[in-house]
Amino acid sequence: MTYKRLAVPVVALLLLLSGVAGASVRGPAPLHTSQANTSLGTAFTYQGRLTSGGAPANGSYDFEFRLYDAETRGRQMGNTVAIDNVVVTDGLFSVVLDFGAAVFTGEARYLEIGVRPGNSASAYTTLTPRQALMPTPYALALPGLYAQPNDVSPNLIGGHSDNSVAAGAYGATISGGGESSAPNLATHDLATIGGGAGNQAGAGATIAGGVNNVASAQYTTVSGGFSNVAGSERRGDQTGIASTIGGGTDNQATGDAATIGGGSGNRASGTYTTIAGGWDNEAFGEYSTIAGGQRNHAAYDFATVGGGQENLADEHFATVSGGENNEAGAEHAVVAGGEHNQALAPHTVVGGGQANVADNRFSTVAGGQSNTASDEYATISGGATNEASGQYTVISGGRNNIASRDYASIAGGQTNQATGQWSAIGGGGANEAGGQYATVAGGQNNAASGAHAVIGGGEANEAGDEHATVAGGEDNLALDEHTTIGGGQENVASSPFATVAGGHANTASNDYATVGGGGANEASGDFATVSGGQSNQASGQYATVAGGQDNTAEGDYSFAAGRRAKIRRDHSGSFLFADANNVDFRSEVSNEFAVRATGGVRFVTAINSSGQRTAGVELSTGASAWSTLSDRNAKANFAPVDEREIVARLAAIPIQTWNYKAQAPSIRHIGPVAQDFYAAFGVGEDERHISTVDADGVALAAIQGLYQMLQAKDAEIAAQQEQIAALEARLAALEQTAGMAGPAGSAQAMRHTTAPASLSTWLLLGGFFLIGLMLVERWRAGGRQ
């Protein structure tokens, strides 16, 4: 019988890797407790087509199957599989073949088939050619990789022939690698080794590659590197479950879920600890972290070291970000970097620098060198050898500064001390703020020792009592409460609320006394003021020296200015101004206004747009009477007056003697009152005053009126005198005529001359009477002729 067949290998395999893929790290439960499944074994299904005489065969046939490593000749692999009485229908048949576990190692395999009729003892007819097996059966093995069946999940072993899976383990995978002197070993269930040499993986553990790495605890991972260990055995208890090492060399992750990213000689022994890399770092607190660096230690739970060298975070939540030889030694303490810094109390911070210490709760040193924040909430921003030793104290920088009382602050400078509560120093050198709320803004050797005292700057100034202030200068002393010195040198304000604004060697020595400046001035009376100048003294209460030189205001409420104006103690309220003459100008009575102005005095009461005076009076040099401005260019709206009417109105105004009520009755004056004057003439600012210019104008107009009246009288008298002269001439002629008539005529002449003589006499008397009337009118008008 002639047999032909077309054999087509079809699906029939087990997928060895699928059982391993589902492993996960979810807890410490041993893997061997999983329920065992029925093994798929090494058998596979073969389907073929058999023809006889060119037609599809039908019936029962015996088959014999052999597996070879070559298409012809070659070496038989595994045993011979004989299957009798296989039913063939329309040329198609299907059988299950099993050549054993070691036949599929990744090389090519060829199937040789022998056939004979069923239930016969005849020889088998070998079919040619041998059939090359297709890929599906190769799932049992790749080149250098073979499956090791078991009852749970087959192991997959590749690489060097000395690579192995420990007896009893299942689902393990060794993808490759290994060598005779350093084979890879999967010691427990579901272990995985990707490659490398000398690696050893435990239950559910993974080693991706590298050399001499160990992943000994459940679910541990070593990605590569050399001589790394994830997990350990301690007194028979497994630790380091689910720990991870990314690579590097000689790293050990022995805490549960601990992680080492790489580096060398690192040890992560706490649960959930992390070391990203570096050398010889150790994290043994739970959840502690070291990002890198060298010889760093995260020794407590949640401690963190960012990097650097020989840093130590040795309390819960402590952090050292980097630097060298830094220590965060308390809960939540932080050292950001630098060298030899220490944050030793809870919630302390050292930002950087060298040899800085924050050793009380919530204290902070931002940087610098050898700074110490030793009380709660104390802060030092930088600088060197500064000390903040009171609660809430602040030093911003500088050198050798000390803020030793609560809430004290120093902005900078050198060797400053803020020793009062809430005191402040802005900078400078060797300054001290010793009073509560005292402030020294800067300068050198200044001392604000009173509560709320302030020194703005300068040198060697002192604000020695509460609310005292020295703005600056040198060697100034504000020694009593609320005293103030604005600046200058060697000034003293020694009584409450006294003020020296500046200058040199000035003294305000009584309450509320003020010296504005100058030199060697003294305000020694209560509320006394010396505005400036030199060698002035205001010793009376409320006394004032406006300035100048060598002035003295001893009287209360007195005012002196200029040069050598001297007001006596008993002359209160006096006002003295002395010009530059180098002689004393002394007060004479209280409440006087006295001015020595040998160059003259001017009062200007109005000016024009260009600033020239348009009104005012002046007392010229050497003069004793005021001169009133009467320039035509300063006047306007001229109008003529009736001089004789002025005389009449003036004659109607009462002229009396009187005294001012403000003066003694014995001091008499003569003249009209302003109301009558204003009613008569309507001039001046109001009806309560008589301006001297108006009084002078009325007097001048009245004189002109009287002059006009006198001229008229003179003309009238002249006319009368001419008439008298004519009458006398006529009389003389008559007398002469009468004398020539004889004796009888003489007697008659005598009778006729008596009357004319009497008439002439009366005419002369009448003339004198008229002159007397005129004189009376002039006298009534105030004139004396």
The model's pLDDT over 511-558, given as tens digits with 9 standing for 90+, comes to 999 999 999 999 999 999 999 999 999 999 999 999 999 999 999 999
Residue 565 lies in a domain: no
- Strands of 282-416 (E only): list them: 282-283, 289-290, 297-298, 304-305, 312-313, 319-320, 327-328, 334-335, 342-343, 349-350, 357-358, 364-365, 372-373, 379-380, 387-388, 394-395, 402-403, 409-410
Q: Where are the alpha helices (DSSP H) in 213-272?
A: none
Query: From the CA atom positions of the chain, what is the Rg in Å?
Result: 67
CB 594 within 8 Å of CB 575: yes
Give the chain's length: 785
CA distance 87 to 63: 11
The DSSP result for 519-569, as a single string, is BS-EE-STT-EE-SSBS-EE-STT-EE-SSBS-EE-STT-EEEEBSEEE-T
**Are 774 and 732 contained in the same domain?**
yes
Q: Measure Cα distances from 515 to 508, 519, 566 in Å.
A: 6, 10, 18
**Are 121 and 204 contained in the same domain?**
no
Res 713: pLDDT: 92
- Which of 81, 109, 141 is at the close of a domain? 141
DSSP code, position 444: B
CA distance 594 to 596: 7
Q: State pLDDT tens for residues 227-285.
A: 999 998 664 566 899 999 999 999 999 999 999 999 999 999 999 999 999 999 999 99
Hunting for tokens 């020295």 — which residue is that?
Answer: 470
% pLDDT > 90, the chain:
80
**Are 15 and 130 contained in the same domain?**
yes
Res 39: pLDDT: 52
Res 107: pLDDT: 78
Res 697: pLDDT: 93
The DSSP result for 561-622, as a single string, is EEBSEEE-TT-TT-EEEE-S-SS-EE--STT-EEEE-TT-EEEEEEE-TTS-EEEEEEE-TT
- Which of 109, 141, 173 is at the close of a domain? 141
Res 106: pLDDT: 67
Hunting for tokens 């070391």 — which residue is that?
Answer: 275
Determine the average pLDDT of the residues in 315-322.
96
What CATH number has the domain bearing residue 131?
A: 2.60.40
Residues with Cβ within 8 Å of residue 696, at least 6 apart in sequence: none
For residues 605 and 34, the model is more confident at 605
**Are 107 and 210 contained in the same domain?**
no
At residue 774 the predicted structure's pLDDT band, cuts being 50, 70 and 90, is low
How high is the mean pLDDT of the chain? 88
Q: State pLDDT tens for residues 690-709.
A: 999 999 999 999 999 999 99
**Are 272 and 179 contained in the same domain?**
yes
Lowest mean pLDDT among 290-299, 503-512, 638-647, 759-768: 759-768
CB 265 within 8 Å of CB 251: yes
Phi, psi of 747, deg, nearest 5: -65, -40
Residue 355 belongs to what H/E stretch?
Answer: none
Residue 763: domain span = 705-780
Residue 311 lies in a domain: no
Q: What is the 3-state secondary structure (H, E, C) of 141-182?
A: EECCEEEECCCCCCEEEECCCCCEECCCCCCCEECCCCCCCC
**Are 89 and 21 contained in the same domain?**
yes
Res 641: pLDDT: 95
Res 239: pLDDT: 84
Res 26: pLDDT: 30
Residue 496 lies in a domain: no
Look at residue 232 and give its three-state secondary structure.
strand
CA distance 276 to 18: 33
**Are 99 and 188 contained in the same domain?**
no
Q: Which two tokens stand for residue 24?
A: 């996960």
Q: Measured in Å, how far apart are the chain's first and last C-alpha atoms? A: 197
Q: Which two tokens stand for residue 386?
A: 């500064």
Q: Is pTM, for the whole model, over 0.85? A: no
- Which of 107, 141, 175 is at the close of a domain? 141
**Are 85 and 159 contained in the same domain?**
no
- C-alpha dihedral sign at 54, 55, 56, 59: negative
**Are 8 and 137 contained in the same domain?**
yes
Tell me how far the alpha carbon of residue 383 is from its chain's centroid. Answer: 19
**Are 166 and 65 contained in the same domain?**
no
At residue 146 the predicted structure's pLDDT band, cuts being 50, 70 and 90, is confident
Res 10: pLDDT: 29
pLDDT score of 753 more than 80: no
Cα maximum dimension of the chain: 249
For residues 406 and 633, the model is more confident at 406
CA distance 3 to 1: 6
Residue 146 lies in a domain: no
pLDDT score of 223 more than 90: yes
pLDDT score of 300 more than 70: yes
Candidates 65, 37, 83, 80; CA nearest to 126 is 65
Candidates 184, 143, 146, 149; CA nearest to 163 is 184
Q: State pLDDT tens for residues 438-483.
A: 999 999 999 999 999 999 999 999 999 999 999 999 999 999 999 9
CB 337 within 8 Å of CB 356: no
Residue 16 lies in a domain: yes
Residue 57 lies in a domain: yes
On the 0-12 / 13-18 / 19+ scale of CB atoms within 10 A, 482 is buried
Q: State pLDDT tens for residues 628-666.
A: 989 999 999 999 999 999 999 999 999 999 999 999 999
Res 11: pLDDT: 28
**Are 135 and 11 contained in the same domain?**
yes
Residue 367 belongs to what H/E stretch?
Answer: none
How are beta strands 81-88 and 131-132 bridged, if at all? unpaired
CB 99 within 8 Å of CB 78: yes
Q: Which two tokens stand for residue 516?
A: 């504005």
Residue 187 lies in a domain: yes
Determine the average pLDDT of the residues in 172-200.
96
CB 154 within 8 Å of CB 140: no
Res 756: pLDDT: 41
Determine the average pLDDT of the residues in 375-392.
98
**Are 13 and 127 contained in the same domain?**
yes
What CATH number has the domain bearing residue 263?
A: 2.150.10
% pLDDT > 70, the chain:
86
Res 45: pLDDT: 87
Neighbours of 94 (CB within 10 A): 13
- Strands of 643-748 (E only): list them: 656-658, 669-671
Q: State pLDDT tens for residues 57-93.
A: 999 999 999 999 999 999 999 999 999 999 999 999 9
Determine the average pLDDT of the residues in 152-178.
94
Q: Which residues of 357-378 are buried (b: 16+ CB within 10 A; e: fewer)?
A: bbbbbbbbbbbbbbbbbbbbbb
pLDDT score of 102 more than 50: yes
User: What's the number of domains the chain is made of?
Assistant: 3
Determine the average pLDDT of the residues in 206-220.
96
Residue 223 lies in a domain: yes
Res 785: pLDDT: 32
Q: State pLDDT tens for residues 17-60.
A: 222 222 222 333 344 444 444 555 678 888 989 998 889 999 99
